[in-house]
Chain A
Amino acid sequence: EAAVTQSPRNKVAVTGGKVTLSCNQTNNHNNMYWYRQDTGHGLRLIHYSYGAGSTEKGDIPDGYKASRPSQENFSLILELATPSQTSVYFCASGDRGERLFFGHGTKLSVL
């Protein structure tokens, strides 16, 4: 079973602070994704990557940056966190056309 590990599992941040969410996958998948899940909105795509060194904007990239330094790691960065970014964030990995494997999620609260 493919493993996707997110850290931290829970995070409380202050408005204006910097937040980094990390994701690691051990199955050599080319593609990695960051989504946020909010009631009434389902999962919305923030950024994705199709390989080391690549990042692409998803549907709601504003206020977020992404970094893919290696095949295994994909980070989501909030340079200036805002309360509207309070959400549950999911990382996923997979190959094109195949199922995505999800991490357990990171619950972020921005106060």
Chain B
Amino acid sequence: AQSVTQPDARVTVSEGASLQLRCKYSYSGTPYLFWYVQYPRQGLQLLLKYYSGDPVVQGVNGFEAEFIKSNSSFHLRKASVHWSDSAVYFCASGTNAYKVIFGKGTHLHVLP
């Protein structure tokens, strides 16, 4: 069955620190993988996506993610966070059958 797991409900880091938000997926084939961000009282915005090719993908605002097939992971990273990165981050998985599902999200709080 298709599933997405984000094990960390909340992450707190200081401004300027590095960041990793974890995501693991379950799917028998190769899924489309996405990271979205949701700012307060807004809809979801795409940060980056992956399907094939270079396993490290670059996204907007300095975010990147690495697809590791052996670990079924697609963790999101940023070298240096800013207070404005505080938001909820969702990992998502899509399949050839059109279904797209999301993890429960990780609340990121950046301390100024």
- Total A-B residue contacts, Cβ distance less than 8 Å: 59
* Contact of A74 with B by CB under 8 A: no
| A10 CB to nearest B CB, Å | 13
Contact B90 A31 (CB under 8 A): no
Docked Cα-Cα span, A44 to B103, in Å, equals 8
Interface size class of B (residues with CB under 8 A): 20 to 34
Cα A44 to Cα B3 with chains together (Å): 11
Residues of B within 8 A of A56 (CB): 98-99
List which A45-97 residues lie within 8 A (CB) of chain B: 45, 48, 50, 56, 58-59, 90, 92, 94, 96-97
Chain B 71-107 residues near chain A, CB threshold 8 A:
90, 92, 94, 96, 98-105
With beta carbons under 8 angstroms apart, the residue of A31, A40, A42, A94 that contacts B102 is A42
Minimum Cβ distance to chain B for residue A17 (Å): 27
A110 located at the interface, meaning its Cβ lies under 8 Å from any Cβ of chain B in the complex: no
